[in-house]
């Protein structure tokens, strides 16, 4: 009888140990899921990931590249001419576009004979695919930007659909992260004014 009690005790301990192991396993899963959610929402609060779709930013960005976008830059700083930004397209806010900022509020933009001027001064643009084949003049209103694609003649941008409201800006493009051979920090050329 004594042997029977000794055999039952380890079985009970083993059952209790298995129950404890399952509880620990379940808690580990819950902790992992909670940490993943915190990281997911935290990362999405400060950044976005966008796929370049099309050729409007050639040669700076190519079709199919994935871009990391900082949502914090313009919460703590100002938009500058030359910044490459991602924004909700004003004519279809569910669509995101990527373009370069050319004009800020109050700027007068002129495109004539292939030359882009801001406030009467030609800007130096070594990053464009070709000079624009269109002409026009625009005065950028308050709370708006004037944006153009680097592939000026194959880009749907402010020259064709108008100004970009600040409220549509998602953030500043920071780096190309896919495909890996093309990893690179995106250079935001400050628009140099030439005489």
Query: Of 9, 19, 70, 99, which residue is the catalytic one?
Result: 99
Taking Cα atoms as reference points, which of 90, 100, 98 lies closest to residue 143?
Answer: 90
CA 38 from centroid of its chain's CA atoms: 20
Known active-site residue 112: no
Strand stretches in the chain, DSSP E: 47-51, 66-70, 84-88, 96-103, 108-112, 115-118, 121-124, 136-139, 144-148, 164-165, 169-178, 184-185, 192-193
Please tell me the number of Cα atoms within 13 Å of 126 on its side-chain side.
Answer: 7
Known active-site residue 71: no
Lookup: tokens for 153: 């003649």
Query: Of 56, 70, 155, 158, which residue is the catalytic one?
Result: 56
Compute the Cα dihedral for 27, 32, 37, 43 and give only its sign.
positive
Q: Angle at CA 43, nearest 5°, toward 38 and 49?
A: 140
Q: How many CB atoms lie within 10 A of CB 54?
A: 17
**C-alpha to C-alpha distances, 164 to 2, 13, 97, 104, 180, nearest whole angstrom:** 86, 69, 11, 10, 32
Catalytic residue IDs: 56, 99
């Amino acid at each position: 009888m004594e042997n029977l009690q000794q055999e039952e005790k380890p079985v009970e301990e083993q059952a209790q140990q298995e129950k404890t192991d399952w509880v620990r396993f379940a808690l580990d899963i819950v902790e992992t899921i909670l940490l993943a959610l915190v990281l997911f929402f935290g990362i999405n609060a400060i950044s976005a990931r966008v796929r370049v779709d099309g050729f409007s930013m050639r040669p700076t960005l190519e079709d199919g590249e994935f871009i990391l976008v900082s949502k914090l830059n313009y919460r703590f700083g100002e938009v500058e001419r030359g910044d490459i930004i991602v924004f909700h397209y004003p004519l279809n806010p569910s669509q995101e576009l990527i373009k370069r900022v050319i004009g800020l509020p109050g700027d007068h933009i002129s495109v004539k004979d292939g030359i882009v001027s801001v406030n009467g001064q030609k800007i130096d643009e070594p990053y464009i695919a070709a000079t624009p084949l269109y002409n026009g003049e625009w005065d950028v209103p308050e709370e708006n930007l004037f944006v153009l694609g680097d592939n000026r003649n194959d880009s749907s941008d402010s020259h064709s659909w108008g100004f970009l409201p600040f409220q549509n800006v998602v953030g500043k493009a920071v780096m190309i992260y896919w495909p890996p051979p093309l990893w690179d920090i995106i250079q935001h050329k400050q628009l140099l004014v030439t005489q």
